[in-house]
Structure 1
Amino acid sequence: MKHQAKVWVGVISAFSISNPLLIHGELIHRYSFNDEAGDATGATLTDSVGGANGTVLGAGALFTGTGLELPGGNSNSAAYGDLPNNLISPHAAVTIEGWVTIDAGGNNWGRIFDFGSTQNDGSGGEITGPGNTNGGGTAGLDYFILTASRGGNYDQQRIEVRNEDPAGGGNTTIDSAVTTTFGNKVPFAVTWEDTGPGTSRINYWRDGVKLNIDAAVTSNLADLNDVNNWLGRSTWLNDGNLDATYDEFRIYDEALTGAQIEASRTAGPDTIVDLSDDPDNDGIPTVYEDLYDFLDPNDPNDAGLDEDSDDLTNLEEFEAGTILDDDDSDDDGLKDGEEINTHSTNPLEADSDGDGANDGVEVTDTTSNPNIADTDGDGINDGPELKGGLLPRDATASSPTMIHRYTFDDPAGPAVAGATVVDLIGGANGTIVGSGGNWTGGALAIPGGAGATADAAYVNLPNGLLSPLDHTTFEVWYTLRSSQNWGRLWDFGSSEGGEITTTMTGATQGQDYYICSASLGTNLGSQRHTIKNLDALAPGGGTGPVDGNEEPFDFANANEFDQEYHVVGVWTSDLNGGGQLTVYRDGVNQGTRTTTFTPRDINDVNNWLGRSNWTGDNYLHGDYNEFRIYSGAMNDAAVTNSFAAGPDVGPGGAALEITDITYNKNDDTFTLTFSSLPGRFYYVFSSTDLVDFSNEVEDLPSGGLQTTSGPFANPAPGSSRIFFRVTEE
């Protein structure tokens, strides 16, 4: 048997189905590193196809006889491969293919390749040797990279395109998480192709598995200033050089298809596959037909057969990149032909729109569209809505359950250390820690200060408020009084050493956290909504990656001092280990990002308002008017409604207001009607001078959205005037 397992070969989209397959991508550069074993310092890296020879720069490189071994280490001295300038930018599409063995870790952000430029001082961004030879900065400006690690974690990788030379082009990041076994050879391929002016797309394979689909890039290949084209070194000069052995490195002038890449990977680094060899002219090259027993490279008729009865011919499956003898290549419950011909979904991706819901589920559940992540455009992706009991075609306001509410409406005066911060709904009362806090009568004012050394007031809420939840919404009304470095609106998680109960603890690093900061560092024009999972403890039972990689969403809004703002953070789970973060400012959706873990992964033992789990960050200097936690997700409409209602009104309610007063002169009684919220308790007071409201007339439970008090006897008989006040417990 030639075919004993699934062969994953390529990708399908509406574009690729309607266009003929490009059978032949031209190989334009090939580096095989098969020099005689020995010292490679200063050696030539021969391009056997294009003549664009490179050079080994730095110290410690060896030729093994079949590869180039780089030692890794500090970029000021360690060896790397320097290829000629402008290998990428003249083209409209390229494929970079190679075979590399990661020999060891220990070097942060080690690059498999990095083509681009570095901050310069008149040299155009080119670095001509180890260290910083151009006298400028050390940051990469333009680049097209594939890393062997994210930071020091070699089980995570990154592809990134940055277009900041000149500034303003932005960057696109594509992360993967594939276990690296040091000493094992890794085949890889990355395609980058223009799709229009200012747009392009990237696809990435590692060890025969496609790890992303058509990642959108907001620049073209021609925008890349590729003057530092390196193997094993980063255009960010402070990153470490890679400790690895290169067996083969190739560049093609086309974006190869999945089938072509699989054929080349199968042939190995020492063989160039002739992808145009098709003796029976059936559209399927010999190298591919040889993978399957039921295909014959000399029989053109087998191209029109349907081996797996999925309503696609063998030729159509080859062109689509689906598996010829598996009717459901992505195991989503839909046949490959049904996905392509009926639903226009991707037969190689179980969740075509990346919304957390399987294509088969979305097709079966006709309330959502498998090609639109957020069918109703309400700010919550379809997957979390389906799993949270919401309707993904209904954009009307969602109704999450408010489970904690802190209104900070204690009488004006000092908010001393140890004072209680009352939870009006859930009973999860918090505590003031530190000094300098004050109740204003309608808010809590905290003073700010240096995080590591100041005894500054903040709010410590009980442990475990976040981790039991699958979907949650945090909502806050706040006012800033001064700029504080990374001042936190909220920070729920843990720090080095776990739980912290005092101020002046020195600078420790946050381990787990869900945060929203009022500023990006000291930049008041930007804010951060982010999560991180570095603490292995997961009291909520989460199973997400404990990798320490922050998953931020930064957003930009002006922060004026002494002005109140409204921020809502929503974190939903797809119930498959991942989720979605969305943030709102003053009722406006600022944006969304996906997450690799959920609230249940957070070890929430430091649940703070106004303080950071990175305890060297400053305390917030400002006022809290109200803070709420919900079980469930607010959508766009719900946030808009809550912002309009303001901090004194719960969802679905109206401001507390006396709407009618009736006096019956026959029996000298009054009847009051006022707006209310279900499940609350109210007190009615009277006064004759608008100062002393100590006279309680009646206490009563809510009558719903409207409550009536009375009739009750005139509390001030004979008085020429009387005033009433209603308060909510």
Structure 2
Amino acid sequence: MNQHRNVRRARVMARVVGTIGIVAFSPVSASAQELVHRWSFDTLEDSVGNADITLHGNASLASGELVIAGGPVRTNYASMEIGETIASTGSLTVETWFTMNSAQEWSKLWMFGTDSGGYGGTPFMDFTPIIPGGLPSIGYHTVNGAEITTRGEPVAPSLPTGVAMLATVVFDDAADQIRLYRDGQLIDSVGWAGTISQLGNTAHNFIGAPVYFGDGSIDARVNEMRVWTGALTDAHIAANAANGPATPAVHDPRIDVPAEFSIETGGEAGSITIPITNLGTTGTLQVTGVTITGPDADFFTTDTTLPLVIAPGGEGSLELGFNFDGWSGEFGAQVEITSNDPFSGPKITNIAVKVALPDIEVPAGITQGPVANDAAPQTFTALVQNVGQGELILFDAEFISGNVAPTHFQQFKVVRDFIEDGPLYLAPGESTELEFTFDPSRILGTLASGYLEIESSDYTSPVLTIPVTVELQDSLPATTTPVLEHRWSFASDASDSEGGATAELLGETTVSGGSLVLPGGGLRTNMASIPVGLTFARSRSLTIEAWVTPASEDQMWRKIWMFGTPSTGPFAATYIDFSQRSDIPNQSPSLSFRTPGRGEVVTRGEPNPPMLPANVESHLVAVYDSENDVISLYRDGTLIDSVGWIGEMHELGITTENYIGAALLFGDADWGGTISEFRIWNGALSATQVASSRTAGTEVLPDLTAPPAGDGGLAIAKLAVRDGQIVLEEVSGLRAGVQYHLETGTQLNDFVPVAGSTFSAGGTIPTVPAVGPRRFVRIVEGAAP
């Protein structure tokens, strides 16, 4: 039974180019009937073959007949050398016109075999006209095998003496049957799972005597005897009986087809050409029907228009199509061919197609490194092997984002240009080292990941994805002052004056009046896309700053910006986003940070600031401060919300989809409003720096080293959380000789003094316990009450 593997097809199938090679072709016709010997007994000559008769004892020729008048065992009989015929055929038909003069039990009309001196080692076939009970019998015996006879029920009627008759014995290996006909009519049969050739090149081939047994010679006259390779059909047997011994029935037209036909292919759809020959000399052959059967029949089709007409002595082609639809293995079917051949029933051709497919083998994963993140691009290899039986074609190889973020696939590149250089071909057993490079390009973190996608002609795995990981070694100094990486002023276009990451305007988004105009509506339709993914992978802390005017307040969950890499689901994605309005009390804005490893961190815990007003420009600053473990949101220079955060920005990887005005996943509609300036800083702006930037506005970049503009009042420039305490590391505006104290609260309107927190300029500033999920701290002039 064939074993097949069901596999999916891919677009690569259209690019498979292969040839069909003939593995085996049998010239022996399916159930071919060939007259190979004929004795008419006018002489001892074989008029068809080369097996002339030899007479033994008193056997003689008289009046056109072979006369054997009985006698002891192997005394009076005829012999002929037909062993080569028997050894070379699977089926055999023996026709004999004869008359029994007397009834002699167990006497053989004919018996062909090889006497080995013992029954078990003697192969033979025989026709005994009379056994005890008066019945005829056919026998078949191989060396040390069980004898097959027609003597079981039901039995044939007795054959008479003194009556001329035709006995036709057919050994049909295709039908697994032995059959006996009298005068063209079937009278007996038995199942038979053998072939004539199993008897070998028989040495003793007798008419009228046994090969081994002790049965006497037959008392009979033989008018004609014929031996055919193949099994004559019922129609042919009946026609020969009607014609009598003088002339064999004319077999014209006469179909001849191969018994077996085998090919191998590389798996693509193709065709099989089966030759059909008309062995007739006068009649035109017409192939009128083709039926394909067997467990794999559905894979084959008949592509020749019927009837197929073949002239006498000519040859035609029967075309069968096949399409295995990406399956592999060996496929077989029986093709039944019907025609106007008068004596041949349906011809059976067994076809077999071996699909010799390639089989790609690649590493389950590749890990390289360590590589310093300030090093030059590195070159690595991926081993690709063809462990199949057919030629493997590599159509393409490239790095993709994969299904799980974070990823850094943009920094990987396959060295071979498949578009320019064409496919790679690997013979069975051949392999190749596929080169690829990795550019560390100041990426932070311990691992950089990519996914190498290989597209090939392997039908079982047309597209393979190999995870590739490079271990990173951080060789970069820590950033002390935030660096402006990108700035879009939207004065006349969407260019980035700092980083060269020009925004792509999508849908109906425009730049007009010195602003980015986002009309809203749709889903990922009206937005600006900015290619800033590498910036996130290079940052520990990050600040996003924008001057934003919402078109309306009713923009629930719409994203003013969202940067990240979508995946097979939101929980496998990475992103940061700013939603203008959430559905929590106060309808407050929301910042978020998500990686698969850490989950989502949001600023939506209590307390919450009010919603952003419509048609009013707000200076919005989102600070992701990895050093102080906090995400902070400022509006117009004032801290309005924050949340504790353990993480670093580079954990997002090199984000693939970075949108202003749209969500990269979820079903949130696009945001509507204008943005007059948009900035991204590598590093965390302090509260003082945020205030300075607010004061400077969109036209001038802030001096991050200067104190806040205005009256020179107090400002906390930098704080940290250590050992459960809030530590004020940098404070500006303290005046010598003036006392101050600290106040703390969980909201911006519930500050209370911290007992014992009085201090002076130049002295040690007390700490505040970091109690609860959120804590605000401020400096107040005067001693603590």
Looking at secondary structure, tell me which structure has more strand per residue: 2
With the length of structure 2 as denominator, give the TM-score of the two structures: 0.28
With the length of structure 1 as denominator, give the TM-score of the two structures: 0.30
Larger radius of gyration: 2
